[in-house]
Structure 1
Amino acid sequence: MAIKAIIDPHHHLWDLENYSYPWLCQPGEPVAPIAGSLKPIMTSYSLDDYKEDAKHWNIVKDVHLDALSADIQAETRWLQKMKDETGFPTAIVAHADLEADDVEELLTTYAKSKAVRGIRQILNWHPNSELSFVERNDLLTDPKWLQGFGLLEKYAFSFDLQLYPHQMLDAAKVARNHQGTTIVLNHTGMPLDRDDAGIKMWREGMQALAANPNVNAKISGLGMVGLEWTTLSVRPFVLETIDIFGVDRCMFASNFPVDKIYASFDQIYETFFELVKDLSETDQKKMFHDNARRVYRL
């Protein structure tokens, strides 16, 4: 259906037969903090599976985000080998705990993998423990974590920022103090709370982050915080994110196979294209291709 060249800057692969993913391998029917039941994706998801889901779209390059393997270095080696053999994934964003004593040793190891472009450490903490991905609420202000974050520029790594809106002001300060590090906000800022106060917090946090020219925004993951995917439900968040960050710092992403719980690949990208159909072809190309190419150096 799509004839335009697309870069998908956020998807995952996993091999449950050969690697451990604790969040997917829980007993019974695992439930993610916000995503709901994970049963639909409790199976290995290969590059061929991804290509099958995306077969109607001209995905020319892609970025693999860490899938929270129990062995993060083994995951990166597996992906680098896949890249060497197939050309995909085009780039890798690997996991690191930036507050760890051995973080620089890990970053040095990642730097040896030609496909690694950046680091992600999920930071989602919520007063409701059932919605938290991490146990600590102070990482963004912790001196040791900030020291680790400061190493990213040394290795020319970007940082994928996944958090909740109430954490954005602290993140904006980190961005302001590390202008040499490219930051990519994940999943449209995860607007979890949809009442007036929640939307206001999301909007103000997005504006604070966007005030820093080194911060970019990935428009993705809206099924996780809405548990539905319709053009009507995602429209205000997509359009306001573009308004806040501008077409030069936004990129559309699938978040597959996680968002497969809520919508097909076709439905997601049809929605994205529908919502920006009135923008110029140049601006659309930036958000579906050029910005991801620049940010991840593809």
Structure 2
Amino acid sequence: MRVPFVDAHIHLWQLDRLHYPWLMPPFADDGPNGSVEAIARHYAPADYLADLDGWNLAGSVHVDAGADAVHAVEETEWLEGLAAGTGVPTGIVAYAPLHDPAVGNLLARQAGHRRVRGIRQIVNWHADPRRSYTPQDWTRDPQWQAGYALLARHGLRFDLQCYPAQMPGMAEVAARNPDVPVIINHMGMPVLGDPDGMADWRTGMAALAAQPHVAVKLSGLGFVDRHWTPDALRPLLLEAIDLFGTHRCMFASDTPTDKLFAPLGTYLEFYESITDTLSDDERRDLWGRNANRIYGLGLTI
């Protein structure tokens, strides 16, 4: 029997309830993820549970799904209702714009929901506008850094989705705020097309790994290479595990977004294959115990 899986990164959406700009037509292939038309349809707990059938699912963490910023609290309230009725999700990483001078009020509202464990604001900035998710590098902005510091006041974690070139600066921000646990999304998203893409990734990940309150999700392989293969990305996953140790890494499906690049089972079977040489305790940490502990989910697994 498979070990319990606490899925550290999922998304749910109901397109006629909230507005998700990135899931609306017209669809194009020139953005950071290519066309998202294939996943631009409702994705509910029943769909998620069907996708994870057979994987001994013990819990899940929903990460902000890119709804319009004005719907940040509405998304959280909707997810709380889903969780009460279906058990999915177990925990919530909500959205807040940390560069907003008034973000403290929103953080308090988000933290007031019992399943909210953290905040994500995607901060991927790249000099190539086709790769950039943001108009500027928010992580260098003093107002953004002030908003980040407020997370500790509300007992909130930060899900960090950035590019490797931003990591040394973020390691300094993390060092100044040791009471804000950080969870790197999608293995740090190395940009293989950059001249120093892998060197930037290694330098940045090492800087973040030096902070004991930083962990990483093993997910998002299609963000690294839309045409990824297990043989190509196995060394990258093993290197991430080596940098952070099996006590600070966690597997995540990133469904349904990662389904843009491969069937969900392909990812999970790949993750399973790279744990063959690990101890039972290490495997259980990667598949569920780390996510349970780092996100404070309170599950018995």
How high is the TM-score relative to the length of structure 2? 0.95
Deviation at 1:233, TM superposition (A): 2.1
Q: Residue 59 of structure 1 aligns with which residue?
A: 57
Q: Residue 222 of structure 1 aligns with which residue?
A: 221
The alignment partner of 2:75 has SS state of helix
* Correspondences of 1:148-163 after superposition (within 5 Å): 148-163=147-162
Deviation at 1:175, TM superposition (A): 0.9
Q: Does 1:112 align with 2:109?
A: no
Q: Residue 45 of structure 2 aligns with which residue?
A: 47
Distance in 1, matches of 2:101 and 2:63, equals 23
Q: Residue 170 of structure 1 aligns with which residue?
A: 169
Deviation at 1:225, TM superposition (A): 2.1
**What do residues 139-170 of structure 1 show as CA deviations (whole Å, max 9, x unaligned)?**
22222111111111111100000000111111
8 Å contact from structure 1 (residues 31, 37) kept in 2: yes
The alignment partner of 2:208 has SS state of helix
The alignment partner of 1:229 has SS state of coil
Q: Residue 98 of structure 1 aligns with which residue?
A: 98
Deviation at 1:196, TM superposition (A): 6.7
Amino acid at match of 2:31: P
Amino acid at match of 1:232: D
**CA 1:229/1:54 → structure 2, altered by over 3 Å: closer, same or farther?**
farther
Q: Which runs of 5+ in 1 are unaligned?
A: none
Q: How many residues align?
A: 295
8 Å contact from structure 2 (residues 45, 86) kept in 1: no
8 Å contact from structure 1 (residues 34, 225) kept in 2: no
Amino acid at match of 2:158: F
Deviation at 1:122, TM superposition (A): 0.3
Deviation at 1:230, TM superposition (A): 2.0
Amino acid at match of 1:265: L
The alignment partner of 2:19 has SS state of coil
**What do residues 9-34 of structure 1 show as CA deviations (whole Å, max 9, x unaligned)?**
1010010121110011132x244732
Deviation at 1:81, TM superposition (A): 0.9
* Correspondences of 1:190-201 after superposition (within 5 Å): 190-193=189-192, 197-201=196-200
**What do residues 188-222 of structure 1 show as CA deviations (whole Å, max 9, x unaligned)?**
00012256721111011100000000100111001
Q: Residue 180 of structure 1 aligns with which residue?
A: 179
Amino acid at match of 2:113: S
Q: Residue 126 of structure 1 aligns with which residue?
A: 126
Q: Residue 20 of structure 1 aligns with which residue?
A: 19
**CA 1:248/1:32 → structure 2, altered by over 3 Å: closer, same or farther?**
farther
Distance in 1, matches of 2:93 and 2:45, equals 16
8 Å contact from structure 2 (residues 60, 88) kept in 1: yes
Distance in 1, matches of 2:251 and 2:201, equals 19
**What do residues 238-265 of structure 1 show as CA deviations (whole Å, max 9, x unaligned)?**
0000000111100010110010011122
Q: Which runs of 5+ in 2 are unaligned?
A: none
Distance in 1, matches of 2:97 and 2:232, equals 34
CA RMSD after TM alignment: 1.3
* Correspondences of 1:80-95 after superposition (within 5 Å): 80-95=80-95
Deviation at 1:276, TM superposition (A): 1.6
8 Å contact from structure 1 (residues 171, 209) kept in 2: yes
Q: Does 1:251 align with 2:263?
A: no
Q: Does 1:212 align with 2:240?
A: no
How high is the TM-score relative to the length of structure 1? 0.96
Amino acid at match of 2:122: I
Q: Residue 72 of structure 1 aligns with which residue?
A: 72
Distance in 2, matches of 1:262 and 1:106, equals 34
Distance in 1, matches of 2:142 and 2:32, equals 29
The alignment partner of 1:290 has SS state of helix
8 Å contact from structure 1 (residues 23, 32) kept in 2: no
Amino acid at match of 2:125: W
**CA 1:135/1:287 → structure 2, altered by over 3 Å: closer, same or farther?**
same
Deviation at 1:61, TM superposition (A): 0.2
Amino acid at match of 2:85: E
